Amino acid sequence: MEPNKIAIRRLAELELAVAALYNLFANRYSEDRGFWLGLKDEEIQHARLLKQIEMDQNGSSGDMSIVSPLSSDVIDIMIAQIRTIMDDIHQHTPSRKEAFSIALQLEQSAGEFHYKTVASAFNKLQDNVLLNRLVADDHDHAARIRNYLNQVLQDNL
Chain centroid to Cα 77, Å, comes to 13
Q: How many domains does the chain have?
A: 1
Cβ atoms of 103 and 145 closer than 8 Å: yes
SS3 149: helix
Better-scored residue on pLDDT, 55 or 90: 90
Is residue 124 very low, low, confident or very high in pLDDT (cuts 50, 70, 90)? very low
Q: Is residue 66 pLDDT above 70, yes or no?
A: no
Q: Spell out the SS3 assignment of 64-117.
A: CCCCCHHHHHHHHHHHHHHHHHHHHHHHCCCCHHHHHHHHHHHHHHHHHHHHHH
pLDDT tens column, 40-54? 999 999 899 888 877
Structural domain span for residue 43: 3-154
**pTM of the model as a whole:** 0.80
Q: Is 12 left (phi over 0), alpha (psi -120 to 50) or beta?
A: alpha
Q: Higher model confidence: residue 128 or residue 15?
A: 15
CATH of the domain at 50: 1.20.1260.10
* Residue 62 clears pLDDT 70, i.e. is over it: no
What does the mean pLDDT of the chain come to?
80
Residue range 71-103, pLDDT digits in tens: 777 888 889 999 999 999 989 999 999 999 999
pLDDT of residue 41: 95
